[in-house]
Structure 1
Amino acid sequence: MAAGVARSDDLRREPVLPPGFSLVTLRESGDAFGHAQAIAAEAGAATLVWVRRFDIVEFAVVLEPDAILAEARLAHYLAMNALADALAIHSPPERPLLFRWPDALTYDLGLIGGGRLAWPADCPENQVPDWLVFGAMVRATTMSPFQPGQTGVGMAEEGFEEVDAVDLIEAFARHLMLGVSRWQEEGAKPAARRWLDRLEKVTGVRHGIEPNGDLVATSQHGVERKGLVEALAKVDWLDRESGGPKL
């Protein structure tokens, strides 16, 4: 079996998740991110929705923050860290696994996946949201040889160790729980700093994360601030037609 390609028997077994998690599975045509939002209020924290796809590892998790929305949104960085850490377990070490602002995940500078964050549309910035939903996609395989002009990559084509969707989801859940525990002890700053460590670097530019999640870039030309809310709304890494990361 090619590394990173989910076999039918892999998709039949269910992830073994940490205590407190509950699993919801959808057929291949399902939408994990949308479904998690639809059930978030009733299902509650640590509900993980998984779509049994062969070409893409797709899942979403419900979070219940205890901070106002403007601060709770930094959970995006915590969850992105967990996604990258889960993938890093299986990735060849000689090539970089990095973030592209604010929600894309690259491997050796090729787009391999990304994350999305949602919250109740009617929740004001200064109130605690009932829920957050983090959705993730990682391309298991491009299903075809590399094409000229292609900027997306897949695990199978990039020489990842033998890994399937269940392995990745189990690792994500473990890393997420570790991140949440640290957040509860030390606050959101360590999660933001860890995310910055993986941000694609620009020569001569120093980056920082504001308390509301905005990205600040400082260089000899001055200071540029990029809003997290506006950036998350774009989901630039997602191909709306294919329903997966852009190629």
Structure 2
Amino acid sequence: MTVLVDAGPPRLVLPPGFSERATEPHSDAHAEACRLAASGEAEAATLVLSRREDLIDVAVVLAPAEPLATARRAHFAGMVALANAVGVFGPPEIPVTFAWPGTLVFNGARLGGGRLGWPEGCREDAEPDWLVFSGMLIASKLATGDPGHTPESTALEEEGFGTSLRDPLVESFARHLTKTFEIWREDGFGRVAAHYLAHLPLESGVRATIEADGDARLTWPDGRVERLPLRANLEAPDWRDPKTGGVRL
């Protein structure tokens, strides 16, 4: 899996090979990155950053080198990078956790999430021309009224994060994404899966693995097995509010 990025006036300090594009203020970074990739305007990858004030909304086009059925595991690399970026700036005593497969939880509340897009109509056994991983975090809930009315979600400004974090956090995400794909290339996907699963709270004694198709397999001490599907959850992320296009509050 390779991360590449198309050009634009540089504003962020990104790893080598990265550049950026900004969307219109209320545009969706994921949709814009998918549009650019599908139209060929973003050859082999673009980092797209939305300028919404209430959200940190970033997407990266990826160049997969394997069939779609297994390439979807790029989602886990993106989630690890997103969690690591949040962890850099958050209070160290509060861990970043996941709810399967793409919800990012901080201090017991939903802070954001990640999702993966791929070309419409691509067969499972075909190598997709592109993938898009996008991450979204709630920066502020000031415009939504009393935060006590939405206790299931939280915002960066409520949790002791610093101010003016948009650019530094996106820069950190890009660095961690590059590093995570390097780990995948050098040590295999198992290392990436282990980093992801370390953020997934499990009952005592439960063992978790991520299969080749991206589904999770949970095994209880009594031998009971549960499978958590990936594709269906990526097609309709449960952390995302389809009415607002943002994170569910």
| TM-score, normalising length: structure 2 | 0.89
Residues 120 and 240 of structure 1, relative CA distance in 2, 3 Å threshold: same
- 2: CA distance, partners of 1:40 / 1:163: 29
Structure 2 residue aligned with 1:5: none
Matches within 5 A, 1:17-56: 17-41=14-38, 42=40, 43-56=42-55
Structure 2 residue aligned with 1:4: none
Structure 2 residue aligned with 1:124: 123
Structure 2 residue aligned with 1:87: 86
Deviations 1:125-147 (A, max 9, x none): 11211100011101111114431
Tell me how far 1:183 sits from its aligned partner.
1.5
- Please list every run of 5 or more consecutive structure 1 residues that lacks an aligned counterpart in the other structure: 1-12
- 1: CA distance, partners of 2:106 / 2:202: 14
Tell me how far 1:221 sits from its aligned partner.
6.2
Cα RMSD, aligned residues only? 1.6
| 1:44/1:63 contact within 8 Å kept | no
Deviations 1:161-205 (A, max 9, x none): 344211111001101111111212222221111100001223342
- 1: CA distance, partners of 2:210 / 2:224: 16
Deviating beyond 6 angstroms after TM superposition, the runs of 4 or more aligned structure 1 residues are none
- Please list every run of 5 or more consecutive structure 2 residues that lacks an aligned counterpart in the other structure: 1-9
Relative contact order (C-alpha < 8 Å, sep 6+): which is higher? 1
Tell me how far 1:148 sits from its aligned partner.
4.4
Structure 2 residue aligned with 1:226: 228
Matches within 5 A, 1:129-140: 129-140=128-139
Structure 1 residue aligned with 2:7: none
Tell me how far 1:77 sits from its aligned partner.
0.2
Tell me the matched-pair count. 235
Tell me how far 1:44 sits from its aligned partner.
2.4
Secondary structure, aligned partner of 2:148: coil
Secondary structure, aligned partner of 2:155: coil
Residues 158 and 225 of structure 1, relative CA distance in 2, 3 Å threshold: same
Matches within 5 A, 1:98-177: 98-143=97-142, 144-148=145-149, 150-177=151-178
Q: Percent identity among equivalent residues?
A: 42
Structure 2 residue aligned with 1:74: 73
- 1: CA distance, partners of 2:191 / 2:125: 22
| 2:37/2:45 contact within 8 Å kept | no
The 10-residue stretch of structure 1 (38-47 or 171-180) with the greater mean CA deviation from structure 2: 38-47
Secondary structure, aligned partner of 2:17: coil
Residues 146 and 22 of structure 1, relative CA distance in 2, 3 Å threshold: same
